[in-house]
Amino acid sequence: MGSVDHEYPLEMNEAESVPQQKHHVEVPTPQPFLKYLKFSLKETFFPDDPLRQFKNKPPSKKFMLAIQYFFPIFQWAPKYTFHFFKADLIAGITIASLAIPQGISYAKLANLPPILGLYSSFIPPLIYAMMGSSRDLAVGTVAVGSLLMGSMLSDEVNPNEDPTLYLHLAFTATLFAGIFQAALGFFRLGLIVDFLSHATIVGFMGGAATVVCLQQLKSILGLVHFTHGADIISVMRSVFTQIHQWRWESSVLGFVFLFFLLITRYFSKKQPRFFWVSAMAPLTSVILGSLLVYFTHAEKHGVEVIGELKKGLNPPSVTKLVFVSPYITTAVKTGIVVGIISLAEGIAVGRSFAMYKNYNTDGNKEMIAIGTMNIIGSFTSCYITTGPFSRSAVNYNAGCKTAASNIIMSIAVMLTLLFLTPLFHYTPLVVLSAIIVSAMLGLIDYQAAIHLWKIDKFDFVVCMSAYIGVVFGSVEIGLVIAVAISVLRVLLFIARPRTFVLGNIPNSGIYRNVEQYPNAKHVPGILILDIDAPIYFANASYLRERITRWIDEEENRIKATGETSLQYVIMNMSGVGNIDTSGISMLEEVKKITERRELQLVLVNPGSEVMKKLNKSKFQNHLGERWIYLTVEEAVGACNFNLRTRTNLKKDESEGWNNV
């Protein structure tokens, strides 16, 4: 019923009654499959086109560019100035004052010897300074990665009963984390990390920070026996069933230093030029706590201390890696999970500060750099490292100019390892716990969660699912829940794409969603639908049913209002980036449905990929080229022209019968 027997090459402009030329939707020139595949792979894995700088360059220049690509230090070092050195020197010393106490604290969090925190702040920053593309990232151990590694490895080996095997497993997990990270960067598979959405990271980090804070109650309360569980229920049960064993000396010391750290951080936030006050506070706490214990002999009154730390640089650990069953399975699993989390944090932090300073970081290059430093770190008695936000923020605020600040920090840690480790003998563990709690409170970003609630309720659900999963289950459970919900959301976007009814904005040729624009008017006799997603096998059936339902709803609306009966169904395909064979079958079914109802299907602006496949599948011929338009305005104009023509024909026929 929507077809007419005559062709019409022109449309009528209702405002001016002037014919307008129809614009045809072109079918793109066929491309060889290999060329198309090459283009698709390039856009998937090389969106930044890293090879463009090598074009039309002599071999010697290409070699130098390749060296600079993998080792950016050769790019910025020749331009290094004394002005840069002064800024990097101040930044390096400042972050070293933070890295030393944090390194010791986070190693304890991972159930590893405290000295490993210093080892991990010496070698990896040197590697990153040569290979990293961020000027502001300060490399070292992180609380969440330490907690995650400690939690996963403790499920297999008890660190108290077999500390040697546990230590070797930590080195092995770090090796596999580095291999996985470097492989992602080398094969340009950074898109895997993109599945950790912002909402996921906010919830996961907040949950992990809460768990870390709860774990510190052991040292703050001076408890000897404590649960190995990380969930809040196990921790609270362990705390309140041992009230009679709480040590007031340890508690007072812990809360006093925690108050001191929080006050200095608050002051630095209010007065940004005094950032160094907050940065120096952890080291100041360590020094004051050590002096207090030394002069009062608090270690004899229930205040645990670090004890002896070995002097000397990192010993080799290549021979300590574990590759035997069943431990290798645990090492691989731990390495991959911890590696992904560390990458997500390091890349996100690097990108954030690069945005502030208006320069770019290469995500894949960052993965190779972080992976390489963890591989080499596993050979030199280091465990998992990345770029923590707190340390990088201090580095940024201290005015660093290049990655040389990591080299300065590394030298400061080296001097500490060579000469100053005996000074940490009397450092109380409760001070380290206060440092950890202070750092972790900054990761519980409740303002971000409130923002998610205001903007996107589903993102808020993802965030809280991650948080609750970590706090009431485990770090692994929270991560799995958050990623699963994020992936589910992606699948819902694909499987249930949005479709809209479009209406005409009065006195214009613009057509918009009638729900978003209440003044948009339905066009009599025409249903205009907008599809806002690619059409694949996953959503083809849904779209067929949804389009059928739109037609039913439109016909019911017309019956209720008494408007002109429905004659045309226009599908605006501007938002359909691609289509597969299932999608084409869906269009064929919709065409049959409209024909059975004596309606005409009209397509608007199919993209190049869609048009190419419609042409190859012969659907274009079955529908008729005359029913494919470049704009909604042209399609509506043509349909209105047909409707007027049909109305006039019926009127003429009626007058002819009356004359007879």
From residue 510, give the alpha-carbon distance in Å to each of 24, 327, 520: 19, 65, 9
Q: What is the pLDDT of residue 99?
A: 85
Q: What is the pLDDT of residue 205?
A: 79
pLDDT tens string 442-486: 778 888 889 999 998 888 988 898 889 888 887 778 878 877 887
Q: Read off the pLDDT of each residue in 69-78 and give the average, rounded to a whole number.
A: 88
Q: Read off the pLDDT of each residue in 366-394 and give the average, rounded to a whole number.
A: 90
Cα separation, 579 vs 576, whole angstroms: 7
Band (pLDDT 50/70/90 cuts) for residue 165 is: very high
Q: Which helix (H) or strand (E) holds 627?
A: none
pLDDT tens string 414-451: 999 998 888 888 888 888 888 878 877 877 888 888 99
Q: What is the pLDDT of residue 569?
A: 94
Q: What is the pLDDT of residue 652?
A: 54
Q: What is the pLDDT of residue 131?
A: 92
pLDDT tens string 538-565: 899 999 999 999 999 999 988 888 777 8
Band (pLDDT 50/70/90 cuts) for residue 21 is: low
pLDDT at 151 over 90: no
Q: What is the pLDDT of residue 100?
A: 86
Q: Read off the pLDDT of each residue in 335-354 and give the average, rounded to a whole number.
A: 85
Cα separation, 65 vs 57, whole angstroms: 10
Q: Look up residue 439 and give its two tokens.
A: 């750092």
pLDDT at 577 over 80: yes
- 651 or 287, which is more confident: 287
pLDDT at 10 over 50: no
pLDDT at 291 over 80: yes
Q: What is the pLDDT of residue 621?
A: 87
pLDDT tens string 186-198: 887 766 666 677 7
Helices (H), ranges, 110-197: 115-119, 123-131, 143-154, 163-186
Q: Look up residue 417 and give its two tokens.
A: 């390892």
Q: What is the pLDDT of residue 49?
A: 64
pLDDT at 43 over 70: no
pLDDT tens string 606-644: 988 899 889 889 898 888 888 999 999 999 988 888 888
Q: What percentage of the chain reaches a pLDDT higher than 70?
A: 89
Sign of the dihedral through C-alpha 276, 277, 281, 287: positive
pLDDT tens string 303-321: 788 888 888 899 999 999 9
- Kindly list the structural domains of the chain, giving each domain's residue range(s) and its CATH number in brackets, ordered by start: 8-32+496-658 (3.30.750.24), 86-491 (no CATH)
pLDDT at 334 over 90: yes
pLDDT tens string 508-542: 888 999 999 989 988 888 999 999 889 988 899 99
From residue 236, give the alpha-carbon distance in Å to each of 219, 230, 243: 14, 10, 11
Cα separation, 224 vs 226, whole angstroms: 6
Q: What is the pLDDT of residue 548?
A: 93
CB 529 within 8 A of CB 499: yes
Q: What is the pLDDT of residue 103?
A: 87
Backbone angles phi and psi of 601, in degrees to 5: -85, 135
Q: At what angle do helices 163-186 and 327-357 cross, to 10 degrees?
A: 50
Helices (H), ranges, 398-536: 404-415, 429-441, 446-455, 457-472, 475-495
- 192 or 216, which is more confident: 216
- 582 or 443, which is more confident: 582
Q: What is the pLDDT of residue 11?
A: 41
Backbone angles phi and psi of 92, in degrees to 5: -65, -45
Helices (H), ranges, 573-631: 581-596, 608-616, 619-623
pLDDT mean across residues, the chain: 84
105: closest CA among 256, 226, 220?
220
